[in-house]
Amino acid sequence: MERQLVTQLDQPVKMLGDKAPKHTVWHCPVRAAPEDPILTDAQWAAIARRIVWPPPASPPTATRKPAAGWPSVTPTTTSTSPPPSYAKTAAVPGGTTTNAPSRTRQARQIEADFGLRQLKRGVGTAAKRHTSKEHFKAKRQGQDATSREILRQRVRRAVAAAASETEFFAFLEATGVNVRPKRASSGDVTGYSIALPGDVNQHGDPVWFSGSTLAGDLSLPKIRERLATTSPEPVATPQGNLWHQASAATERIPHHLVYSDEHIAQGQLAALGAALDLLPVTAPSAVKGELERAAAAFERATRSRITADHNSARTLRRSLQTIWCSPSPDGDGSGLAMLIDAALTAAAFAMHWHRTRLHAQQEAAAQQALAHLHTAYGQIAGPALSNLARRAPTPQTQHRYAQHLHQAVPEHAERILNDPAWNALTTVLAQAEGAGHNAATILDQALGQRTLDDAHSPARALTWRIRRLGERHAPSPRAQAAKARTTRPTRRLARPEESRSFNTFTSHSASRRRGR
Distances (CA, A) of 33 to 36, 79, 95: 5, 15, 30
85-93 sheet: strands from edge to edge = 23-31, 85-93, 72-73
Tally the residues of the chain: 516
- pLDDT one-digit tens code per residue, 418-468: 999 999 999 999 999 999 999 999 999 998 877 787 677 899 989 988 988
What is the pLDDT of the chain when averaged over all its residues?
79
Q: Determine if the peptide bond prior to 420 is cis (ω within 30°).
A: no
- pLDDT average, residue stretch 343-365: 93
Of residues 148, 144, 176, 177, the one with CA closest to residue 293: 144
Report d(CA 264, CA 356) in Å as an integer.
16
Report d(CA 385, CA 352) in Å as an integer.
29
Report d(CA 38, CA 394) in Å as an integer.
63
SS3 27: strand
Of 39-48, 302-311, 342-351, least confident by mean pLDDT is 39-48
Report d(CA 41, CA 418) in Å as an integer.
58
Strand positions, DSSP E, 260-357: none
pLDDT at 330: 67
Report d(CA 118, CA 389) in Å as an integer.
46
Report d(CA 140, CA 343) in Å as an integer.
37
Type and span of the H or E element at 294: helix 285-298
CA angle centred on 8, ends 5 and 14, rounded to 5°: 135
Residue 1: band (very low, low, confident or very high) from pLDDT cuts 50, 70, 90: low
**Virtual CA dihedral for 366, 367, 373, 375, nearest 10 degrees?**
-160
